Chains A and B, each alone.
Chain A
Amino acid sequence: MMWFLFIGDMVVMLFMVLLVIWVSLMGSDKRINVAAKIPLQDEKFDD
């Protein structure tokens, strides 16, 4: 049981490491820059 849990933990860990690598590589710079500017242009006040 202990080994089952331990190996299961390691498999999940591997998945998460791959997920982090995938996230860090995906997305063009253009898309990233557009998303980063969202808080700077998200309001319109009535005149």
Chain B
Amino acid sequence: MALPLVSKMTGNANDAVVEYYHDDVVRFLVMCSLVWAVLAMTAGVYVAAELIWPGLGFDHPWLSFGRLRALHTNGIIFGFGVSALMATAFYSVQRTCHVPLALPKLAWFTGVAWQFGVLAGGLSLLAGMNGGKEYAELEWPFDIVIALLWVYFGLVFFTTIARRKIKPIYVSNWFYGGLIIVIAMLHIVNSLAMPATWFKSYSAFPGAQDAIVQWWYGHNAVGFLLTGGFLGMMYYFLPKHADRPIWSYRLSIVAFWAFTYSYIWAGPHHLHYNSIPDWVQNLGMGMSLILLAPSWATMVNGIMTVSSAWEKLRTDPALKFIVLSLAFYGLATFEGPMMAIKSVNVVSHFTDWTIGHVHSGALGWNAMITFGTFYFLVPRLVGGKLYSVRMANAHFWMALAGTMLYVLAMWGAGVSQGLLWLSLDQIGELSFSFKDIMASMVPYYLLRLVAGLIFLAGAVMMTYNLAMTIKGRPTVKVRPPEVTAYRVDS
């Protein structure tokens, strides 16, 4: 059967050459993501230990909590998370469009330059260059580099979609597209600043406006990168791996628009009882509660997709990770709106409950969906079997144990902190000092450290397992199928 693509070199149909999907860049980004996962999680474990034994900073500024914590969060989000998102977006967009990746050299440049950007940005944070905005700590030269590379990412992605051979734009591409557009908008606006020196700048927004813009960025970075981007991953890799279409495709599209519409308003719940207008706080709370609907619709859609393939869960570690990630997604997206209710926020804000909530999402949802995807994707990229299924199964239980222990420890610590801080004696004074409350947190922090170590050990095991899977094997050549039913020209 004739191949559908004609040689671009000669334009002669008889001289047709096969155009393969560009998967080497995907393989590179997956391996980078794994390296960043191990490095950034190690930094997280170290700062967890510092909260118990502050002497671990050794009076060296590079080892101080303030610098290592930013390294941990930036390494996880921009190193591990974005590399995984770029890899899976590049992998799935070409397949769902039935064309090889557009601008492959630009894709390579973006992927490689991103890694150098994360490395240099991490070193700048260790050196104390910090803009002071959470999850946007990098100083202005890095902000410009991030914006440029993000535009290149978008160029590769949207050009591939523009060149697609089939009419429908699959739902995962809507989520990846939303990720690219919204993160560009958030990053550029929130990073507007006046440079004072090469590595110091001041925000363009004054006072409370700066806080609103920062949490508009911060919350929607969680929304469109850590939620929307990874939902794109789920909507492609779950049906692919379960070998059945998504349970309700219509629901997935409705959930996309409802999600996009409600998420963008919810940021002010980070500023409850602060000096921003009361109606803005209430609007943030209301939209956070509405957000529960599209979030749970997505979770139900994912769970129902595997509902007729439960037998695979007994033997397939990749699917186990993906299904478990959906359960944690449901948990985190229920807890978030609850914490946005002002009367609950009185207890939870400024406590470790927030840290527990963030990690139920980061470990339970983001990391697990990525682990499941990588266990499926890497053997497929090299046309072989996973080096050790047993090791992957052990990793599954370690990841589950680590996440549960982490979340439970932080719930215990956070609720205790919130209630103790609110406790007043008979004459209306605080019953407990801040110092006494924090001193009583050591057992919880020890549990959190153990949880982090278990989770990190699992990630190291996975990195070894996948490295051995890929070792010495070239990337398999795969091309678009010869499907004509819904081609653009049909």
Contact = CB atoms under 8 A, between A and B. Distances in A.
A2 B280 CA distance: 10
B479 interface: yes
A36 B257 contact: no
A44 B478 contact: yes
A9 B283 contact: yes
A40 B95 contact: no
A32 B249 contact: yes
Interface stretch (B51-59, B235-243, B366-374): B235-243
A41 B254 contact: no
Nearest to B98: A42
Scoring A16, A33, A35 by chain B CB atoms within 10 A of each residue's CB, the highest score goes to A35
Interface stretch (B430-438, B447-455, B461-469, B480-488): B480-488
A3 B196 CA distance: 37
B253 interface: yes
B425 to A, nearest CB: 40
Interface in A1-47: 2, 6, 9, 13, 16-17, 19-20, 23-24, 27, 31-46
Contacts of B21: 43
Contact of B258 (A6, A20, A36, A42): A20
B245 A36 contact: yes
Secondary structure at the A interface, as helix, strand, loop or mixed, is helix
A6 B277 CA distance: 11
A41 B170 CA distance: 12
A42 B170 CA distance: 11
Q: Which residue of A31, A34, A39, A40 has the most chain B CB atoms within 10 A of its CB atom?
A: A39
A40 B481 CA distance: 11
B8 interface: no
A33 B247 CA distance: 10
A46 B254 contact: no
Given A9-B283, A32-B249, A20 B168 contact: no
Contact of B170 (A31, A33, A39, A46): A39
Given A2-B277, A34-B486, A40 B249 contact: no
B191 interface: no
Contact of A40 (B98, B166, B244): B244
A39 B95 contact: yes
Given A36-B245, A38-B166, A20 B479 contact: no
Nearest to B20: A46
B168 A44 contact: no
B147 interface: no
Contact of B168 (A2, A6, A23, A31): A31
Contacts of A46: 477, 479
B3 to A, nearest CB: 9
B250 interface: yes
Contacts of A35: 168, 170-171, 249, 486
Contacts of B258: 20
Contact of B481 (A2, A23, A27, A41): A41
Given A34-B485, A36-B249, A40-B243, A2 B476 contact: no
Contact of B236 (A16, A32, A39, A45): A39
Given A32-B250, A34-B168, 20 more contacts: A9-B265, A13-B261, A16-B257, A19-B257, A20-B258, A23-B253, A24-B253, A24-B254, A34-B485, A37-B245, A38-B96, A39-B95, A39-B170, A39-B236, A42-B96, A43-B478, A43-B481, A44-B480, A45-B477, A45-B478
12 contacts: A9-B265, A16-B261, A20-B257, A24-B250, A33-B245, A35-B168, A35-B170, A35-B171, A36-B246, A37-B245, A43-B21, A45-B383
The 7 closest A-B pairs by CB, nearest first: A36-B249, A16-B261, A35-B168, A36-B245, A42-B95, A39-B240, A24-B254
